[in-house]
Amino acid sequence: MKYNFNPAKMYQPQPAQIDYFDDNGLRFKCDGTVENLDEDWGLVKTSFKGWNVYEHGGGTFRAYRRIADHLWPVYPKELNCVDHANRCRGMDAFSNLRRANTSLNNINQYRQNVKGYRHETKEWLMKVNGYRVNNNQPPIVLDHPLRNKYIAIITYKGKPYELGAFDHPADATECYLNSKETFIQDRLREIWVEFLDADGSVPAGS
């Protein structure tokens, strides 16, 4: 199978431009709504922690998972989550969904009081290295003098990615929040490029 994927213009394979697809007596529309096509079974929609949950044919399902399985049936093994790009769990539109790994999915979540920075001071370095030593972890060794600034940072798979240095904490937090989506897209692009052959084909055996 071959995906429509141009890394210069997109960060994940672009699904076919369709208005809907039918699956097991149900019609999944591009806006994320689900229509029942089987008169022998009802379709009941409920909500669980913001996700749309449907009852049909004696079982339950979440639309976003069924949609992702149709749009990207073969995908990199590590992209084991389906992420709502705008963080709204109830918006299952095709354009709002993407395969992601657990780390990127967590980065995309909104969590109150997340600062998105570290205050790079002598006190911070002593405190964090004391914690790491007590937990049998190697200490942090900076490759530069302490900056005494607020360093906007995204931590991905245990590795910190610096986004910029600021004099005020609010500026560092703003940089962190504004950088998350680009960071997520860049990582997803790398994963898909590594997974797919040069022409966008799924590797044999996947």
pLDDT tens for residues 114-172? 899 999 999 999 999 999 999 999 998 988 899 999 999 999 998 999 999 999 999 99
- Say if residue 89 is exposed, middle or buried (CB neighbours under 10 Å; 0-12, 13-18, 19+): middle
How many Cβ atoms are within 10 Å of 90's Cβ, its own excluded?
12
Measure Cα distances from 70 to 52, 150, 154, 160, 184 in Å. 17, 44, 31, 34, 22
How many alpha carbons lie under 13 Å from residue 83 in its C-beta half-sphere? 23
pLDDT at 2: 87
Task: Note the pTM of the prediction, 2 decimals.
Answer: 0.90
The C-alpha atoms of residue 188 and residue 193 are separated, in whole angstroms, by 8
Mean pLDDT of the chain: 93
pLDDT tens for residues 6-23? 999 999 999 878 999 999
Residue 189 corresponds to which amino acid?
Answer: R
Measure Cα distances from 57 to 24, 35, 52 in Å. 9, 13, 17
Domains of the chain in sequence order: 20-110 (3.90.75)
More confident residue, 101 or 202: 101
Residue 206 confidence (pLDDT) above 80: no
Q: Give the residue among 11, 34, 183 at the shortest CA–CA distance from 99.
A: 11
The C-alpha atoms of residue 114 and residue 159 are separated, in whole angstroms, by 17
The C-alpha atoms of residue 144 and residue 179 are separated, in whole angstroms, by 23
